[in-house]
Structure 1
Amino acid sequence: MEDLCCIRLGLAWLIWSIRRVCTLAVDSRPNIILIVADDLGWNDVSFHGSDQIPTPHIDRLAKQGVVLNNYYVTPICTPSRSSLLTGRYPVHLGTQHNVLYATEPWGLGLKEQLLPEYLNGLGYTSHMIGKWHLGFFDRKHLPTRRGFKSHFGYWTGHADYFDHTAQEWTEWGLDLRDDDELVRNLTGHYATDLFTDRAVTLIANHDKSQPLFLYLAHLAVHSANQYDPLQTTRRYYERFPHIRHPGRRLFAGMIAGLDESVERVYHALVRAGMDNNTMIIFTTDNGGPAAGFDDNYANNYPLRGVKDTLWEGGVRGTAFIWSKLLAKPRRQSTQLMHISDWVPTLLSAAGQKLNDKKLDGIDMWSSLSNGGPSPRKEVLLNIDHERGIYALRRGQYKLILGTTYNGDWDGWYPPEGETSRTRTEERATTICGPVPKVRATSCQPMRSACLFNVEKDPCEHTNLADDKPEVVQRLMNRLKAVNATVMPPRNVPADPQGSPRLYGYAWSPWKE
């Protein structure tokens, strides 16, 4: 009898131990909230020094976490999102050339393993809200077939914030889906608020026995359709009477909605008791379309260039990471990082080390958490033979050859409208140094490669190519080496069968 009692006690202890280990295994996997702002510029958040558009809620999390001051994205949407979710450079995915237009029958390759698929294998529940932009011509390419348990949002590259239609060239149709189902009854509801409402609901209803991965890819602050590109609500718009430029004021209202969204998501985590074991990553997908580019008034000043250029204004991204799990928070990081690094970094934080040699991303978790040196020494910014543009950063030097739009958007664009100048706390401001008289003419990238020391000259004022020909040659050799691994672009011509007119004026898959 005594032996039987000992056996029962032993079994009970063993069962308790197994359950405890399983609970700890789940608890050691942080919830991951990945927030992507669309087309957010370097100078569109006040933690980068803007005193024109306050972003107090974004600022608070950035200040409590780690601000990523040396973080690179790609110049446009589809390449960045493909890199973000795969951990690979766009040149190794075939997404380096252009965005995916809605009637083009292609998408991110089905053989690529995406971040939610990795995380699902670790016991996560993965949900997506907002912009997909990685292919929907057939159902195999939809987000709910690529690792996400649910998707509430849109499949194309942009949409109207109120009626949720998308216009591309002469095509126009509804693009709001709840999983695969069209949503027709939310006209008049502001997209930023709709997406935030869904995020708050998902967090509140989440089964905390499993870690959560939430990918919140906002429409804000991308332009809507061409006939009404900048859209906000009166509540947000009226906060900015000091901005006299009508476009920049509308844009400021869009930023205010995004800032409020971040606050609401954070407080939803607190109410759910999830904030102690959560990582919030906030990133733009590319630089801002400034000065009316793409009918928008984002801003990257004092950085050079705009969205869809390889200047720092097009590829140095606004980003931070917030988490109570960070060993050394409350700092501004100068660690070199690329958007492809999030896959191995987040998996590392979740307890999985990747040894996939196909990945271009590097595990940054230890460096970000502890403040150590970055293991990344180089960032490929792009190789696009069809457009003739090439850029690479290695160490403090950046090489750029070729340019977009014949150089029409290669300048420096201060923000439109007046500033309020009311903020005084420490910010991650960009120091550019004196402006040389020949800055606009010293670099002619259509003629020859330009070289910049972007540690000392992040605003790309002074071309060093003539002074440091050996550095130019070294970086050119690196470009040639990477070029041997480049995959041809996947882009294909538009297919008339993809017209939403054929499907009740709704963007829909058209191939099986």
Structure 2
Amino acid sequence: MLCTMLLMMCFVYGHGSQPHIILIVADDLGWNDVSFHGSDQIPTPNIDQLAYEGVILFNYYVEHICTPTRSALLTGRHPIQTGLFHGTIGAADPYGLRPNETTIAECLHELGYSNHMVGKWHLGHFAEEYIPIRRGFDTTFGYYLGKEDYFDHTSTVFANKQYLWGFDFHKNGEVYKPVFGQYSTEIFTEKAESIIRNHVNSKKPLFLYLPYQAVHSANEDQLLQAPQKYIDRFPHIDVKKRKMYAAMVSALDDGIGNVTKALKSTGLYENSVIIFTTDNGGPVCGFDGNCASNEPLRGSKRTLWEGGVRGVGLVNSPLLEKPGRVSEDLIHVCDWFPTIYHLAGGNSSTLKNLYGVNQWDTVSSGKQSPRLEILHNIDTVGNYSALRVGDYKLVVNSLYPDKWNDWYPTEGQGKVNPDPRATVVHCPNKPTNASTNCQPFKAPCLFNIKLDPCEYNNVADIYPDITSEMKARLDEILPTVVPAANKDKDMNSDPKLHGGNWVPWIKQTGTNHV
């Protein structure tokens, strides 16, 4: 394994100095769904406190959908390197994050960490070697698929013209039924708190990977779900879906607050690093039955517009040299792997074949990011791509030529006065031809994201040299894209063949699965 080979080359901090690392992931959280970005609908005081007392990541990018981001987060490798760049892994799909891909949990295990995962996996479960308990975690508690009911933890999917339905909750690789009827955000929080409290007397540093279900939509019969106590917090929002979505965000914020309190009450916080990220931009109202807001950014989840890939992100830690500030440096979700590895005592310069770079000096001290370029994606199946170099972004083709390419205002009424400390996106005046001056499926579009973060003005014709250079850069990267890992659905996954549960259905055959 990568980390085993590197261990002899690593500088490891002395006993007691390796920080506890808490990696929290929100699912489908929109840019404008946290009050530290200026939301006047949804107060997020606990997330805000982490942001204002830590470092807000203002030019932080994730991938446009769940599976690609989660693979990038855990391996430090771009989805074009792992074959997970096209779509998400479905419940009946016989592929996943290949076992020969090294996860950050495996690396941290080699560096002496106690590793725990609580929440959503979504990186494949068709064979035993793909499930999280086999990927470097000492304990796991959560679900394998991309979505499910928040209370009964069943997932309904449509595959090969029929519906498949089954229970999807697992503890350490085994089906776990006692959580039936309990709201996932609350039980994930309670489990995380328990792990933290039980770790107090451990001699090992803690790695807690906490990818919440919130605020992804659930099954088709009830897409948005929250306990009534959270819904009651938003009488001012008159759009039902947005009200329910706000309740889900509020439950998430409470959960993160409780996890933070547990760290502080146990004394672990003083030697902890908390990283908070969304997995992609928000699915705007009408997309996937959800009702997120990326305002004022363009686009939605599943697109390569800023609304799809510019992520909510922050770092909070007493170990930060310069906290209480906003970082405008370019940071990509792949960067967490080498950054965490460095924090844990590893020598990140010895890591090979990663897309990620160590960003700790940038985050902690405000030093300039070593990253000048971010590849948003090259999808060789869908034939669309986007690249940012410095201030400029090139968009080639589009996943949705006829929809989700616009600007979507926040649904419902606002109430809360935006915090004057909020870090908001400032856009130029919107031209009348904003919706028509860029048609990426006809010709590449170029934007200056620093001056025009809302992607109003296509400047490809004004700067043809930059457009040509960036297109050439995409052409240069293209041969490095590995084949897509996607495979046809396998109906042997049907839960009715497995006691009504979503579980691995193919016997292990080593590490040659695709």
User: TM-score normalised by the shorter chain: which range applies?
Assistant: over 0.9
Q: How large is the RMSD of aligned CA atoms in angstroms?
A: 1.2
Q: Distance in 2 between matches of 1:248 and 1:336?
A: 31
Q: How many residues align?
A: 491
Cα shift at 1:404: 1.6
Change in 2 beyond 3 A, CA 1:507/1:247: same
2:96 corresponds to: 107
1:324 matched residue in structure 2:
318
CA contact (8 A) 1:435 1:461 kept: yes
What's the offset of the Cα at 1:59?
A: 0.2
Aligned partner of residue 294 in structure 1, secondary structure: coil
Letter in 2 for 1:126: N
Between the two proteins, what is the percent identity of the paired residues?
47
CA distance in 2, matches of 1:187, 1:363: 41
Q: Kindly name which structure, 1 or 2, has the bigger radius of gyration based on alpha carbons.
A: 1
Task: Give runs of aligned pairs for residues 345-364 of structure 1, distance below 5 A.
Answer: 345-354=339-348, 355-364=350-359
Aligned to 1:448: 443
- The answer (yes or no) to whether the contact 1:89–1:360 under 8 Å persists in 2 is yes
Q: In the alignment, does 2:429 pair up with 1:434?
A: yes
> How far off its partner does 1:23 sit?
12
| Structure-2 residue corresponding to 1:5 | none
Q: Which residue of 1 aligns with 2:285?
A: 291
Q: Secondary structure at the match of 2:73?
A: helix
User: Cα distance, 1:187 vs. partner?
Assistant: 2.1
Correspondence for 1:501: 496
Q: 2:469 aligns with which of 474, 481, 501?
A: 474
Asked if the contact 1:335/1:374 (under 8 Å) is kept, the reply is yes
1:409 aligns with 2:404: yes
Q: Is the 8 A contact 2:35 2:419 kept in 1?
A: no
How big is the shift at 1:186?
2.2
TM-score (norm 2): 0.94
* 1:175 correspondence with 2:168: yes
The counterpart of 1:65, out of the listed 34, 39, 54, is: 54
Q: Partners in 1 of 2:100 and 2:69 — Cα distance?
A: 18
Specify the alignment match of 1:419 in structure 2.
414
Other structure's SS at 1:489 match: coil
Match of 1:84 among 58, 61, 73: 73
Q: For residues 146-166 of structure 1, what are the alpha-carbon distances to aligned partners after superposition, in whole Å with 9 as ceiling and x for unaligned?
A: 000111000000110000001
- Structure 2: which 5+ residue stretches go unaligned? 1-10, 508-514
Tell me whether 1:198 sits opposite 2:222 in the alignment: no
Contact 1:432 1:456 in 2 (8 A): yes
Please state if 1:305 is matched with 2:305.
no
Matched residue, 2:36:
47
- Contact 1:27–1:277 (8 Å) recurs in 2: no
Indicate yes or no: 2:338 matched with 1:344.
yes
Q: Is the 8 A contact 2:58 2:327 kept in 1?
A: yes
Please say if residues 12 and 111 of structure 2, whose CA atoms lie closer than 8 Å, have aligned partners that are also in contact.
Answer: no
Amino acid aligned to 2:157: E
Q: Tell me the CA shift for residue 24 of structure 1.
A: 6.8
AA partner of residue 327 (structure 2): S
- What residue number does 1:14 align with? none
Question: What secondary structure does 2:15 align onto?
Answer: helix
The aligned residue for residue 134 of structure 2 is 145
Distance between the aligned counterparts of 1:435 and 1:63, measured in 2? 30
Whole-angstrom distance in 2 between the partners of 1:64 and 1:100? 36
Residue 208 of structure 1 and its aligned partner are, at CA, apart by 3.2
In the alignment, residue 179 of structure 2 is paired with which amino acid?
L
CA contact (8 A) 2:391 2:450 kept: yes
The aligned residue for residue 383 of structure 1 is 378
Q: Distance in 1 between matches of 2:63 and 2:498?
A: 33
Q: Deviations over 1:381-422 (max 9, x none)?
A: 000121111100000000001112223110100111000033
Closer/same/farther in 2, CA of residues 271 and 390 from structure 1, 3 Å limit: same
Give the superposition deviation at 1:271.
Answer: 1.4
Q: Given residue 475 of structure 1, which amino acid in structure 2 is its aligned partner?
A: M
The alignment partner of 2:434 has SS state of coil
Please state how far the C-alpha of 1:477 moved relative to its aligned partner: 0.9
Deviation (angstroms), 1:27: 2.1
2-structure distance, mates of 1:362, 1:102? 32
- 8 Å CA contact retained: 2:38, 2:419: no
Aligned to 1:232: 226
